[in-house]
Amino acid sequence: SQQGEEDPQALSIQEGENATMNCSYKTSINNLQWYRQNSGRGLVHLILIRSNEREKHSGRLRVTLDTSKKSSSLLITASRAADTASYFCATIDGGGSARQLTFGSGTQLTVLP
Amino acid sequence: ETGVTQTPRHLVMGMTNKKSLKCEQHLGHNAMYWYKQSAKKPLELMFVYSLEERVENNSVPSRFSPECPNSSHLFLHLHTLQPEDSALYLCASSQDRNSGNTIYFGEGSWLTVV
């Protein structure tokens, strides 16, 4: 079954506003990663947060992780038109036999100029 | 530029054709992956290779045949595909298969089966 699930499926905001995307997962994890995909292109890694971390920053990105709720959020501050893309969360299970990164269906973010 | 190069970027093939997708990584990684991305569906992991050995095959139909001749190259051989196989095929690599590794993706190969 799918591990990570993003919410909302689509988000449209004005340039300069903040964008928040959420991810929920089902089982225990070692870490959670966020990726970005421009239309028709490959995925690009944005940030990784480990299960013992609660918050992480990278430039205009802020990721939080709540393992008790099995959820994560990605906040993009002061959004730009160039941030328009699909954003995916991905998890690797916490078991010793971690095998694959499982992706959700993504949030399509549109930033209007 | 992520260090993972896929060719061709676009491919149109008939159901009776045989074609191959190629992937090359310049990152010195030991693990390589093929993913399938169809419209409005999550990424599907197809195959995983670690040190040139196939370690994962997620019930992919035999009309898809992977080949990993060395740790830098990965192929996906395609034969008698169906129209529903039309999708974006993404190659990726990581340092190894241990948890916590970032995966680096290529730009993908758009496949259309007619």
Tokens of B64: 């898809």
For the record, the structure tokens of B48 come out as 């995983």
Closest Cα in chain B, distance from residue A47 (Å): 9
Q: What is the pLDDT of residue A69?
A: 95
Nearest to B108 by CA among A40, A64, A62, A32: A40
pLDDT at A99: 56
Give mean pLDDT, residues B31-56: 86
Q: What is the mean pLDDT of residues A59-87?
A: 96
User: Is pLDDT of A97 > 50?
Assistant: no
Between chains, do B4 and A42 touch, taking CB under 8 Å as contact?
Answer: yes
What integer pLDDT is reported at residue A14 of this predicted model? 97
**Chain A nearest CA to B109, separation (Å):** 9
- On average, the pLDDT of chain B sits at 90
Q: Do B88 and A88 touch (CB under 8 A)?
A: no
- Tell whether the model's pLDDT for residue B57 goes beyond 90: no
Confidence category of residue A2, pLDDT binned at 50, 70, 90? very low
More confident position, B55 or A18: A18
SS (H, E, C) B15-78: CCCEEEEEEEECCCCCEEEEEEECCCCCCEEEEEEECCEEEEECCCCCCEEEEEEECCEEEEEE
In percent, the amount of chain B with pLDDT more than 70 equals: 96
